[in-house]
Amino acid sequence: MKIVTTTLLSKGIFKDNLTYFSAKELEIGSIVVVPVRGKPTEALVVDTRDAGDLKTELRHSDFALKKITAVKSRNFFQPEFITAATKTADFFSTTLGQAVKSFAPLAIISQTANQNNKQKNTEDRKPATSNASQTKIEKFVLQEPDEDRIALYKKIIREAFAQKQSVFICAPTNADVRHLKQILGRGIEDYVASLCSDETNKEQILNWKKANNHKHPVLVIATPLFICLPRSDIKTFIVERENATAYKQMARPFIDTRFFIEQLAEAKRAKLIFGDILLRSETIERSRRNELAPLSPITYRSFTSAQKQILINQKEKDPTNFGQAISPELTKWLEETAGERWFIFSGRRGLNPLTVCGDCGHVFSCPRCKTPLILHQEKSGKNAENYFLCHKCGHTGQPEDKCQHCGGWKIALLGAGTDKIEAELKKLLPQTKILRLDSDTVKTPKKTEAIISDFYASPGSILIGTEMALFHLREKIENIAVVGIDSYFSVPEFRIGEKIFNILLRLRHLAVKNFIIQTRNPEEEILNLALKGNSTEFHRRELSDRQKLKYPPFSTLIKISVKSTDKQLVEALETLKEEHLSAWQTIIYDSFSNLRGGEAQTNLLLRLPTGHWPKSEIIFLLRQLSPAFIINVDPENIF
């Protein structure tokens, strides 16, 4: 008889390891069905031992072991995957089951395909030599424009195929996967497999079989969900668009895919490449510490084919133009380039991102989460009415005629959202085809692609879009204008500067003739650095500021949050700080959650020096906390 240790794969179950017995031999990585509270539950085998070796423990146990109900798949996950998931679970203070579930699609786990055949094919692909443990782990960074990275990827794929090795490219979004398949798959269509999370279960299973069972080396292009693909011949992992925030989970267990892939590459002794037009500051710092080597000389000054790069200063202009989204200077450019395409970027949807009192400076904020309210216009009905909408918690309300803070009537609408830009352009250029791409107008990928195709097929058209559009704009555009970037500077996130610079650098790279930034903050150095494409100076300043403030990569932050309305939880958080974490730098503060409809939350921020995490004593402590405590290691923001 075997004593089997399992970790549950069911969502919402926070227990880690449970022990059962089985009369069958089970390999680590197998998927089984076990009884939990009277219900059959999928679990992953993480350890097996002979019952004879545990006679004493079993004899003194105060509970009876239950039997494993069924074996669903033998040896589904490779040992290297389990090793990477274990390290990831420790780093992000979650259970092994939740870490595994983050990178294992339900459709694949639930399928009833013949696993024995799959296992045989996998064994046939194993390298003839057994020197994997002596193989040097190579980790590289690649900061190049998109075209140069793609050219280098093609070379890497050819070399891998020649050595009978497969390549796995992880992309942050489904749109990126489809784009990469189109440009990298030319000439090797039979050996390319793509896996997208928005495909049907049938499509996922079909593509999974192609990726996993092909005897020839393959190029796999997939979103993070499919990293568990058990091909032993994958010897190169590429993390494309490494700076994308989509790699960091926005809900529990808050795992960063980039960390997991690095652990998996280490376990498989595979080559790892982080690539982007602008790498994260954390990655650049690791390169400076020689933890990551440049695959090619790092490009610190981005190239653009834009003939003119212009900054329009709206700070001290004619007061009669105050509040206009499109400045007279930009209007002139639009008129002089009639017949050419324009993409106009705005950081916010709606009419105006900010409403303030001109007398006291009070900002009209959400009564629930205190986030600035954004003015929108109702599209349905004959009489279009304006309304306030909070983009954080979804609260809506009627616009107010006077300031609740001072009673003043001097209300100013600041900034320009996509709604306002569209309305002004239709008045200025009534004969021009104007398209809009944001989450208010587009709800499906099919609709998104239709708008993008229509834009590129229509010379002289204008596309207005938010950051959402950047995931889909691949081809060059004659003219690009940035109209609503100023609102980003008020976002209280320590990574916001890098986000702004990344957006501007991508837009600048897409422009062919004119790249224009319209702003009321011309003194912001990030804007001037972006116009020049000077990522060297940007990273120098960004890393210097973070080092002074002890932000990542010069520390590891752990945020523990509870509902502010639950006094017992808040008291428990204070006790945790005073009695258990007093040896480390901590602070307690209030904020508003993005995950709970804007409910107030109380946070404990734990700051550890770089290299001092994970710590076993803190991990043990955090795992004793109830699910009411939300733990986020290396959060995107601290508020």
CA angle 301, 257, 238 (to 5 degrees): 55
Question: Of 352, 481, 465, which Cα lies nearest the Cα of 415?
Answer: 352
pLDDT of residue 409 exceeding 80, the answer is yes
Within the chain, what is the greatest distance between any pair of CA atoms? 88
Q: Give pLDDT, residue 15.
A: 64
Tell which phi-psi region holds residue 284, choosing left (phi > 0), alpha (psi between -120 and 50) or beta: alpha
Average pLDDT in the 411-438 region?
91
Q: Give pLDDT, residue 380.
A: 61
Q: Which phi and psi (to 5°) does residue 447 adopt? A: -65, -40
User: Are residues 256 and 249 in contact, defined by beta-carbon separation less than 8 angstroms?
Assistant: yes
CB atoms within 10 A of CB 68: 22
Angstrom distance (rounded) from CA 55 to CA 215: 45
Q: In CATH, what number does 555-633 get?
A: 3.30.70
Going by pLDDT thresholds of 50, 70 and 90, the confidence category of residue 583 is very high
Going by pLDDT thresholds of 50, 70 and 90, the confidence category of residue 370 is confident
Angstrom distance (rounded) from CA 30 to CA 18: 15
Same fold, 115-125+134-294 and 308-353+415-546: yes
pTM, two decimals, is 0.90
Boundaries of every domain in the chain = 1-76, 115-125+134-294, 308-353+415-546, 555-633
pLDDT of residue 9 exceeding 50, the answer is yes
Rounded to a whole number of angstroms, the distance between the first and last alpha carbons of the chain is 51
Q: Give pLDDT, residue 302.
A: 80
Angstrom distance (rounded) from CA 336 to CA 626: 63
pLDDT greater at residue 608 or residue 310? 608
Token pair in block for residue 423: 């309305």
Angstrom distance (rounded) from CA 371 to CA 395: 10
Residue 392 parent element (H or E): none
Angstrom distance (rounded) from CA 421 to CA 424: 5
Angstrom distance (rounded) from CA 323 to CA 510: 28
Q: In CATH, what number does 308-353+415-546 get?
A: 3.40.50.300
Going by pLDDT thresholds of 50, 70 and 90, the confidence category of residue 151 is very high
Q: Tell me the percentage of the chain whose pLDDT exceeds 90.
A: 60
What's the CATH superfamily of 115-125+134-294? P-loop containing nucleotide triphosphate hydrolases (3.40.50.300)
Residue 516 bridge partners (DSSP): 310, 481
| Mean pLDDT of the residues in the chain | 88
pLDDT of residue 330 exceeding 60, the answer is yes
